[in-house]
Structure 1
Amino acid sequence: MDQGRSKPDLIIFDCDGVLVDSELLSCRCLSEVLAEFGIVLSAEQALELFLGRSTKAIEQHYRDLGQAVPDGFLPRLKSHVLKTFEGSLQPIPGIAAVMSELRAPFCVASSSDIDRVSLSLDVTGLRGLFDGQIYTAQMVKHGKPAPDLFLYAASKMGAQPARTLVIEDSVSGVLAAKAAGMTVWGFVGGSHYRARDGLAILSAAGADRVFAHMSDFWKEA
C-alpha cells in the first residue's frame, strides 16, 4: 500500500493514545503505584520508557536493573488504572466520527490487557464500534515493538500485511507496524504530546505519515 493513497484492506488502531486519551493517566498511575512499592519513577520518565509497551516490558525493565517489582505490583497497578479510567478517561476528539465513516474493516491491537481495553472502550462509548474485534499483547508471545500482535490481528481479520494500515502513537508501535510490513500513520493528538515533538519522534521511528487531528485522517493521505 503506497502511503495510504490507495485505500487499505484493513485498518488497525492502537487503543491508548489513538482511540482514548489515556497515556498521561496511565503513566501517572504507574508512577504512583511504583512509589507505593518504594520505586521512584516520574510520570514523565514512565512516558519515555513505557509508552506503547506492555506490563511485561515494565517487569523486564526492572529485572534488567536487578530490581524486580514485588508480587502485588501488577494487580495494584491494574486496579488503580481501571479506577482512574472509570472516572477520568475521555475519547480522542473526533475518533467516533472517523470510525463511523470508514469503509474498510478495522480492529484494535493494543499492548494493554483485554480488561483495560474493554473498559477504555466502554467508558468512552466506543465499544460498540468494534464488534469484538479486539486483539491484545496477551494473545501473542512478543509485544510491541515486535510485529507479532499486528501480524496476528491481520491474520485474524483476513488481511495481507502489505494492504494493512496501522494508526499508532508510540515509537514501539510504529516499529512493530513497520516490522510487520505494514503502512503506519503516527497520531500525535493525545495530551501526552502537548509538550513533546511528536512529529519528529514518530517520523524518526519510521512513520509513513504523522497527523495531529482526527478530522485530518484522510487529508494528504
Structure 2
Amino acid sequence: MNPSPHPIDLVIFDCDGVLVDSEGITGRVFADMLRELGADVDDHDLSGRCVGRSTADSLTIAADLLGRPLPPGFDSRYGERSRAALAQQVTLVAGVGSMLDAIDLPCAIASNGLRVKMAITLQVTGLLPRFDGRWFGIDDVEHGKPAPDIYLLAAKTFGARPEHCVVVEDSPTGIAAGRAAGMTVLGYAGGLSLERLVEAGADYVFDDMAHLPALLDALRRIAPVASAG
C-alpha cells in the first residue's frame, strides 16, 4: 500500500552554499590569512575541512594546520575581512531566486554562521525582506550544527512538527543536524559530490536548484516526510 500524502510544515534552508554563494569568498580570506602566518594551505583543501562548520570550529582546524595557536585577535580580524569581502562579492547561488518564487511552502533559514555575517549576505543578495523574522544564526542557540538545536528552534518558532519539516543542506555537518532533529534532509550538491552527501545521510540529493520545487512537491504528495527512528 502506498503511504498517505503527508504535509510539509516548514522548509528550512541552510544559508552559505545553499542560498548564498559565500563559501568560496570566506574560504579565500581564511586561506590568505593563514598563508600570511606561514601556513602551507590549499584553498580547496581548507574549504573541504571547514564546510558547514562554525567559525569557532574552523579556527580550531586552522590552528592545527598552522601547528601553533592562532595569534590574538585573529578571529576578529578574520570576521572583519570576510564581512568586507562578502559585502562586495556575495551573490545568490544559481537558480535560488526562481526556486524560491516557485515554492508555495513556509520557509526559514538556519545557519551555523553568525547573525552579523548573515545580515550582510541576506541584505546584499536581496533575501532579507523575503525571510524577515525567519532566519536564525549560531548565536541564537547554545550548540551549533551538528547538534539539532537550530533546526528545532526554527520548527518551534513557527509551530512546525519536526517530522514534517524538510531541511536543505550542502554539508555533512548540516545533514547530521537535520537528521538529529528528526527531519527529512535534502542534500544540495553545490560544492560536494552527490555521493558524499548520500554517505553523510541525506535522504535525497539534487544538484540543480531548479529541481527543488518538484522534489518538494513529490515528497508532499506521495510519501511521509520523515519516519520515527
Q: TM-score, normalised by structure 2?
A: 0.85
Q: Which amino acid aligns with 2:157?
A: K
Once the 2 structures are TM-superposed, how far is the Cα of residue 62 of structure 1 from its aligned partner?
A: 5.2
Distance verdict in 2 for CA 1:133–1:185, change over 3 Å: same
Q: 2:222 matched to which residue of 1?
A: none
Give, in whole Å, the separation in 2 of the partners of 1:7 and 1:211.
21
5+ residue gaps, structure 1, are: none
Counterpart of 1:218, as a letter, is P
Residue 208 (structure 1) aligned to one of 183, 203, 223: 203
SS in 2 for 1:129: coil
Deviates more, 1:13-22 or 1:73-82: 73-82
Compared CA separation, residues 39 and 139, structure 1 to 2 (3 A) = farther
2:13 pairs with 1:13: yes
Q: Which runs of 5+ in 2 are unaligned?
A: 219-229
**8 Å CA contact retained: 1:59, 1:68:** no
Deviation at 1:144, TM superposition (A): 1.1
Q: By how many angstroms is 1:41 displaced?
A: 2.7
Q: Do the aligned residues in 2 keep the contact of 1:34 with 1:73 (CA within 8 Å)?
A: no
Alpha-carbon distance in 2 for matches of 1:130, 1:219 = 21
SS of equivalent to 2:213: coil
Is 1:59 the equivalent of 2:59? yes
State the shift of 1:119 in Å: 0.6
Q: Give distance in 1, aligned partners of 2:18 and 2:164.
A: 20
- Root-mean-square deviation (CA), in Å? 2.1
- What is the distance in 1 between the residues matched to 2:125 and 2:62? 32
Distance 1:101 1:7, change over 3 A: farther
Greater radius of gyration (CA): 2
Identity of aligned residues (%): 37
Contact residue 52 and residue 171 of structure 1 kept, 8 A: yes
Query: Does the C-alpha gap of structure 1 residues 8 and 147 become closer, same or farther in structure 2, counting only changes over 3 Å?
Result: same
Counterpart Cα distance in 2 of 1:61 and 1:32: 15
User: What do the CA deviations read for 1:49-81 (whole angstroms, capped 9, x no partner)?
Assistant: 110111111233356787322221111111111
Aligned residues: 213
